[in-house]
Structure 1
Amino acid sequence: MNMVKHGFDIVDKATFRSGMSRFGSTVNVVTTRYGGKRYGFTASAVCSVSDTPATLLVCINRANSCFHAFENARHFCVNTLMPGHEDISNVFAGKPPTADRFMLGDWREGLTGTPVLVNASVSFECELDKAVDEATHRILFGRVIDVRENEDRATLLYCMRRYLKG
């Protein structure tokens, strides 16, 4: 079904997804703690918003199995993965599904109790400032309260539906 808006046809889902696969991006695992449990998902839709105050945004699909935790949690952490973390990315993306996504990697509690990947390229611990729903997703705006950088600055990238080493 094509939708018409302002006289232009909106592209179909397959065409849009194919075009978006050409956007190279960092691979991130976004984590939180809610109800005494750890939750996380793999995200490429992460970007800076401002440096004054330090703010970033993350997009989460509202159909995601851990959405309820992010909907109710006050803090989250964006852990940018490094080459060699492909298995961590896949597990948090639900490939394969697993009860404990935190079985891979060395996780510690951050300032707010959110899970922080010890050897991430960089981790941004955030306090939720606001959330906005758009189509199938929720955009989480987080004020950055802590940054942890790894001396090895390599970052895992994803483009054209495959991992690249950056």
Structure 2
Amino acid sequence: MTVDATEFRAAMSRLGASVSLITTDGPAGRGGMTASSVCSVTDQPPTLLVCINRNASTYRAVRRNLAVCVNILAPRHVDLSRRFSTAQLSAEQKWSGVEWKTLATGAPALADAAVSLDCRVSMVKHMGTHGVFFCEVVDVSFSATTEGLIYFDRAYHPITGWAGQAVAEY
């Protein structure tokens, strides 16, 4: 039996995932996109996996810049997440009105992200339509928030009020 792409996407919509803003800057210019396809690989060396569609302009920028910042979003960032996932918006519309800073690689870090993980790309593999980037974390910036944002069943959901409490208590 073969699972078609529509059925697979419907199944993956039920896999809750943290929402991140992937940003880059360097010789290929600045780029950014919303992603839920980020996960930790190992802590020695600290490495993340980031999947980006090869047709996306951000893919080309990351591939040339070899630097990304994974900005993990909080509930207050839903509108920003939507902006960066809308292809019809100009770069100015996506980037304006937001406070940015830079860490070690120079990729834009969202000043009030729950956490920003600044990375150098160490390896790229291709699987179907996507590039799988292995990204070594070289700098981290935390904010005071303990809130998170997940995407589940094609909708945003806040994660709040869990700090220091075990899941079993709920």
TM-score under structure 2 length normalisation: 0.88
Residues 131, 141 of structure 1: 8 Å contact kept:
yes
In the TM superposition, what is the alpha-carbon distance from 1:66 to its structure 2 partner?
A: 2.4
CA distance in 2 between counterparts of 1:31 and 1:142 reads 13
2:84 aligned with 1:92, yes or no? Answer: yes
Alignment of structure 1 residues 1-166 onto 2, 5 Å: 9-35=1-27, 37-94=29-86, 96-100=88-92, 101-166=94-159
Q: Are the aligned partners of 1:26 and 1:158 in contact in 2 as well (CA < 8 Å)?
A: yes
Structure 2 Cα separation of the partners of residues 35 and 91 of structure 1? 24
Structure 2: tracts of 5 or more residues without a match: 160-170
Shift of 1:34: 2.9
Give the SS at the match of 2:57: coil
Is residue 28–residue 65 contact of structure 2 (8 Å, CA) maintained in 1?
A: no
Q: Which moved more, 1:142-151 or 1:43-52?
A: 142-151
How far apart, in 2, do the equivalents of 1:113 and 1:106 lie? 15
- More strand as a share of residues: 1
CA distance in 2, matches of 1:60, 1:143: 16
SS of residue matched to 1:165:
strand
Instruction: List gaps (5 residues or longer) in structure 1.
Output: 1-8
Q: Deviations over 1:47-88 (max 9, x none)?
A: 000001111110000011222111111211100011111111
Q: Which stretch of the first structure deviates more once superposed, 42-51 or 109-118?
A: 109-118
Counting matched residue pairs gives 158
Identical pairs, percent: 39
Report how far residue 105 of structure 1 moved: 2.2
Q: Residues 86 and 106 from structure 1, CA distance in 2 versus in 1: closer, same or farther, beyond 3 angstroms?
A: same
Q: Letter of the aligned partner of 1:92 in structure 2?
A: F
Give CA deviations for 1:98-154 in whole Å, capped at 9, x if unaligned: 232211421112222110001000110001110000000000001110111112111
RMSD of equivalent CA atoms: 1.3
4+ runs of 1 displaced by more than 6 Å? none
Q: Determine the C-alpha separation between the residues in 1 that align with 2:87 and 2:64.
A: 25
